[in-house]
Chain A
């Protein structure tokens, strides 16, 4: 595995390469599974695929830079969840990555909800 790519990249900035690494056919399948989407121009597909790559890079980098793992050089689930809450453009992710809560807290909340319903 070549390591030269790590050296010539600024670790804070996403890589700027002119190729597409994600599988385009899979991106097309995902796009078509969106409701109402009928046909997609091939070039539009390329653009979407590359945009998705950039998104992954930005998500990873900003989660890491603002996260708690920076000192220990690690990236955790909660770093990503925080980035989703704090960055406007990542708000759409909050539906699929709720901040993890402890089971005990969840059960407490559940009990409270049940109590409220019983009172009504």
Chain B
């Protein structure tokens, strides 16, 4: 998914995301490949358009960061005012979802277990994990040792067989 070229201008929305949107928007419509490619590039162009316009509005307001207001005004001045209600709705939705998530996680924190106890449990888990890791490592080491021994034995018996076979008429004094 990461672009292999470092060129900023090659940044586009992933083709798969566009294909999915097209499929959901125009179900059962056959869309030519070059048309899809075009939509990908139109996206990038649109983002640049809105960013530049929002940036100009931002500069005029003497603020340093592009705010939601700047984007909304940019959409209006570019002729996309009809999008404003819906994008605002989605923003509200995203924010309330994020808020719910934060509330849920803080509910988890308030289970009633004191911090010291939680810390102790955590240390126990870590110790157990370390022990398991150590046992695993030792097992692996033993297996490797056994495998190495077997390989060594196989190699020496093979070379012994070879030597025995190739020097039948010689006195074989070689110690293996």
Contacts and interface: CB of A to CB of B under 8 A. Distances in A.
Interface in B146-165: none
B94 interface: yes
A75 B93 contact: no
The number of chain A residues touching the other chain, given as a range, is 35 or more
23 contacts: A9-B27, A21-B20, A22-B17, A22-B43, A23-B14, A27-B47, A30-B44, A30-B47, A31-B47, A34-B55, A39-B64, A39-B65, A41-B67, A47-B72, A48-B47, A48-B51, A48-B71, A53-B21, A56-B43, A59-B39, A60-B21, A75-B31, A89-B78
Interchain residue pairs A-B with the least CB separation, the first 3:
A6-B27, A33-B8, A89-B79
Nearest to B46: A55
* Range, interface on chain B: 35 or more
Interface of A: 5-6, 9, 11, 14-16, 18-23, 26-27, 29-31, 33-41, 43-44, 46-48, 50-57, 59-61, 64, 69, 72-77, 79-81, 88-89, 92-93, 95-97
Given A34-B55, A41-B65, A46-B91, A77 B21 contact: no
A56 B47 contact: no
Contacts of A40: 51, 65-66
B43 to A, nearest CB: 6
Contact of A51 (B32, B50, B93): B50
